[in-house]
């Protein structure tokens, strides 16, 4: 059905009427609980934990999680709706997609049954906020080079190392730590181990000072002889790399979906601004150059929306390949960066002011080309299929 007509020429067919009812609820939640406070959270560098509890109570966390663990057992379309609404209001501090669509799925798929029963219902309620720690001070793109190490000691794992740039890093109640468990085995020596907040030797470092995404807490994490029970291992020992590779397409699709929503929202605001702002006795929109620029941007945003929806539909049917997810992330974030830059330009000096949403969105978007696998790594992945 034709729903959620965006401010582009795209006719959307990927969502059902039920998804759209859910969207209305999500939008109300964001307008009531997030938009009025986001600037304050940007200054604080973090979103309050209470927001997570409110979102959990409204069923906005972990929609895909099985009902027996407190989720809705819904399809990925519901997660996509939440991501789009975050993109629409540029609430980049709200780390729900990382939690619901990236971290919790590892726990649901690979944790021991008793740990699933202990953790998952609390994750759905927002009582446990999650993070995933891959990146280290000395490595990011080359995941197999992680140095953080875990060794067995009786029935425990003992972890040593440090991580950086970890999203939800300050707020997290549980972090999946990517560790070397067989240092000589490269990618076949990596395991995923859960560490809970409060575990002796696990220290959260600085909440890092970024150039954008100011409300998102991004942290250093330190592990000094951190002892966790063997049951905290996800899946099989030394199989962590294959789990990460399998789940990365969903992470990249989430970033692409957010880019599509951000482009549409910011373009719409820019059109409104250009029609209102006067220069040389006419509106900014009246200059042919600007009308043509906006027309070009609308064509680009429409084209990407169609592609993003195609990838979303493929993913909902279980058929999104690693290459297609990489294309979606590459094209979405590169296009978003250029489009937001053009939109900022059309705002003139106001565009450079933090009071205007466009400037903040522009700075927030820059990281899209870096995290979740950089644009260069996306090209590597795509090139492998040539």
Ligand X SMILES: Cc1cc2nc3c(=O)[nH]c(=O)nc-3n(C[C@H](O)[C@H](O)[C@H](O)COP(=O)(O)OP(=O)(O)OC[C@H]3O[C@@H](n4cnc5c(N)ncnc54)[C@H](O)[C@@H]3O)c2cc1C
Residue (236 or 376) nearer to ligand X, CB: 376
Per annotation, catalytic residue among 136, 251, 264, 357: 251
Q: Whose CA is closest to 268, among 307, 291, 305, 294? A: 294
DSSP designation for 239 = B
Reported as type and span, the H/E element at residue 292 is helix 288-316
Pick the binder of ligand X from 83, 191, 218, 262 (CB under 6 A): 218
Q: Give the DSSP H/E element, type plus range, for residue 220.
A: strand 218-229
| Residue 194 or 213 with smaller CB distance to ligand X | 213
Contacts of 39 (CB under 8 A, 6+ apart): none
Which 338-367 residues touch ligand X, going by CB under 6 A? 367
Interface map 220-259 toward ligand X (x if CB under 6 A): ----------------------------------------
Smaller CB separation from ligand X, 193 or 284: 193
DSSP string, 161-209: EEEEEEETTTT-SEEEEEEESSGGGGGGGEEEEEEETT-TTEEEEEE--
Among 165, 241, 243, 307, binds ligand X (CB under 6 A): 165
Mark the segment that binds ligand X (CB under 6 A) among 242-250, 267-275, 289-297, 368-376.
368-376
Segment 167 to 196, residues that bind ligand X, using CB under 6 A: 167
100 vs 135, beta carbon nearer ligand X: 135
Tell me the number of residues near ligand X by CB under 6 A: 21
From the CB of 41, what's the least distance to ligand X, in Å? 15
Nearer to ligand X, 356 or 371 (CB): 371
Separation between Cα atoms, residue 84 and residue 98, nearest integer Å: 14
Q: Which of 27, 341, 371, 382 binds ligand X (CB under 6 A)?
A: 371
Residues contacting 198, CB < 8 A, separation 6+: none
Which residues between 122 and 141 bind ligand X (CB under 6 A)?
A: 131-135, 139-141
Kindly give, in sequence order, each residue whose CB lies less than 8 Å from that of residue 149, ignoring residues fewer than 6 positions away.
159, 160, 161, 179, 180, 181, 183
Active site annotation includes 251: yes
How far apart are CB 212 and ligand X at their closest, in Å? 8
Nearest CA to 338 out of 372, 300, 305 is that of: 300
Residue 92 contacts by C-beta under 8 Å, 6 or more apart in sequence? 86, 212, 213, 215, 216, 364
Give the number of other CB atoms < 10 A from CB of residue 1. 12
Q: Give the one residue of 176, 213, 312, 326 binding ligand X; rule: CB under 6 A.
A: 213
Long-range contacts of 334-339 (CB under 8 A, 24+ apart): 334/369, 334/375, 335/259, 335/263, 335/300, 335/301, 335/304, 336/259, 336/262, 336/263, 336/365, 336/368, 337/365, 337/366, 337/368, 337/369, 339/263, 339/266, 339/267, 339/297, 339/300, 339/301
User: Does 118 sit near ligand X (CB under 6 A)?
Assistant: no
Closest CB to ligand X among residues 267, 377: 377
Q: Closest separation between CB of residue 175 and ligand X, Å?
A: 9
Residue 23 beta carbon to ligand X: minimum distance, rounded to whole angstroms: 26
- Closest approach, Cβ 326 to ligand X, in A, equals 13
Minimum distance of ligand X from residue 61's CB (angstroms): 17
Q: State which of residues 24, 73, 380, 383 lies at the interface with ligand X (CB under 6 A).
A: 380
- Our CB check for ligand X shows the closer of 79 and 135 to be 135
> Which residue's CB comes closest to ligand X?
140
**Distance between CA atoms of residues 301 and 128, nearest Å:** 36
Distance CA 362, CA 344 (A): 7
Tell me if 385 contacts ligand X by CB under 6 A: no
Indicate the residue among 134 and 331 with the shorter CB distance to ligand X.
134
Using CB under 6 A, list all residues that contact ligand X: 131-135, 139-141, 165-167, 210, 213, 218, 367, 370-371, 374, 376-377, 380
The residues carrying an active-site annotation are: 251
């Amino acid at each position: 059905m034709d729903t959620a007509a965006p401010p582009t020429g795209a006719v959307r067919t990927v969502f059902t009427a039920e998804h759209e009812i859910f969207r209305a609820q999500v939008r109300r939640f964001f307008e009531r609980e997030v938009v009025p406070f986001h600037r304050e959270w940007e200054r604080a560098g973090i979103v309050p934990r209470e927001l997570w509890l409110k979102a959990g109570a409204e069923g906005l966390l972990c929609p895909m999680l099985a009902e027996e663990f407190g989720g809705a057992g819904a399809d990925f379309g519901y997660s996509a709706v939440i991501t789009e609404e975050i993109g629409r209001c540029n609430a980049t501090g709200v780390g729900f997609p990382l939690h619901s669509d990236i971290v919790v799925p590892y726990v649901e798929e690979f944790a021991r049954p008793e740990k699933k029963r202990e953790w998952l219902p609390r994750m759905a309620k927002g009582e446990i906020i999650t993070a995933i720690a891959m990146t280290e001070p000395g490595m990011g793109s080359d995941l197999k080079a992680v140095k953080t190490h875990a060794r067995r000691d009786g029935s425990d794992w003992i972890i040593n190392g440090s991580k950086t740039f970890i999203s939800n890093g300050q707020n997290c109640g549980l972090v999946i730590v990517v560790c070397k468990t067989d240092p000589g085995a490269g990618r076949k020596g990596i395991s995923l181990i859960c560490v809970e907040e409060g575990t002796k030797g696990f220290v959260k470092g600085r909440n890092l000072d970024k150039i954008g995404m100011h409300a998102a807490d991004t942290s250093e994490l330190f592990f000094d002889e951190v002892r966790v029970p063997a049951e905290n291992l996800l899946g099989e020992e030394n199989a962590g790399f294959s789990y990460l590779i399998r789940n990365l397409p969903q992470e990249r699709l989430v970033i692409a979906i957010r880019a599509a929503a951000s482009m549409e929202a910011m373009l719409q605001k820019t059109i409104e601004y250009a029609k209102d702002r006067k220069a040389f006795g006419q509106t900014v929109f009246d200059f042919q150059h600007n009308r043509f620029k906006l027309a070009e941007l609308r064509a680009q945003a429409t084209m990407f929306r169609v592609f993003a929806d195609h990838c979303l539909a493929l993913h909902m049917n279980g058929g999104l390949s690693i290459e297609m997810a990489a294309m979606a992330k590459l094209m979405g974030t590169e296009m978003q960066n250029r489009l937001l830059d053009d939109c900022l330009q059309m705002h003139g000096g106001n565009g450079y002011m933090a009071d205007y949403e466009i400037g903040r969105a522009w700075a927030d978007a820059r990281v899209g080309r870096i995290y979740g696998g950089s644009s260069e790594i996306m090209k590597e992945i795509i090139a492998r299929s040539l």
